[in-house]
Chains A and B, each alone.
Chain A
Amino acid sequence: DAMVIQNPRYQVTQFGKPVTLSCSQTLNHNVMYWYQQKSSQAPKLLFHYYDKDFNNEADTPDNFQSRRPNTSFCFLDIRSPGLGDAAMYLCATSREGRALYGYTFGSGTRLTVV
């Protein structure tokens, strides 16, 4: 089945130690998004790639970076994780910018910072 896969499902990292979360898709969608979701809060868009074009949200901290080496893969890099970065990180894809068929989300990566 075509899908969005996030690895790992659970990630524990040390305070200040760089960490990378990965997302892959078999849907051949051209847009990929990264959302951060804290407990009982709305998913918050960090940034997205429209094809190779990177679109950063104005309030996304510089600590968060992303890479998209090809259509299928996208990575979220947290350069120096703080305790406040503990959250569920959700990757999503859509066929184009206007998501007439909805976004397809992965199962998320739960990040714990110790």
Chain B
Amino acid sequence: SQKIEQNSEALNIQEGKTATLTCNYTNYSPAYLQWYRQDPGRGPVFLLLIRENEKEKRKERLKVTFDTTLKQSLFHITASQPADSATYLCALDIGGGGATNKLIFGTGTLLAVQP
């Protein structure tokens, strides 16, 4: 069956440390993988997109890696701050483009950054 798995337990880290979140998937072949941030009671907010032929993507303190052989993406936040505390969702872009294309989401990992 098709699955997207993210750490179900909350990740607690100290301010200033690097947070690393994992996204594993099975039986999908996404051309793109995206990461979103979701705060309680709000809609997800787009952070980063990485293509299947890219190994790594960076944006300010954020870094995403994508290993299509392992079927895994890692999401890093360096120099983490309490304001980074939120749920982070991994999403796979599937459907081959066009009218049937869509994003399938993982359940997300709750990150708590302690001051």
- Where the two chains meet, the residues of A that have a C-beta atom closer than 8 Å to any C-beta of B are 4, 6, 33, 35, 40-45, 48, 50, 53, 55, 88, 90, 92, 97-108, 110
Contacts and interface: CB of A to CB of B under 8 A. Distances in A.
12 contacts: A42-B89, A43-B89, A43-B105, A44-B105, A50-B98, A50-B99, A53-B99, A98-B97, A101-B46, A105-B44, A108-B41, A108-B43
A98 B42 contact: no
Interface in B68-115: 89, 93, 95, 97-108
Contact of A45 (B32, B45, B102): B102
Name which of A43, A50, A55 has the most chain B CB atoms within 10 A of its CB: A43
Nearest to A4: B43
Interface of B: 4, 31-32, 34, 36, 41-47, 49, 89, 93, 95, 97-108
8 nearest A-B residue pairs (beta carbon): A102-B46, A105-B43, A97-B101, A50-B99, A42-B105, A42-B107, A98-B97, A43-B105
Name which of A42, A53, A102, A105 has the most chain B CB atoms within 10 A of its CB: A102
Given A98-B32, A99-B103, A43 B97 contact: no
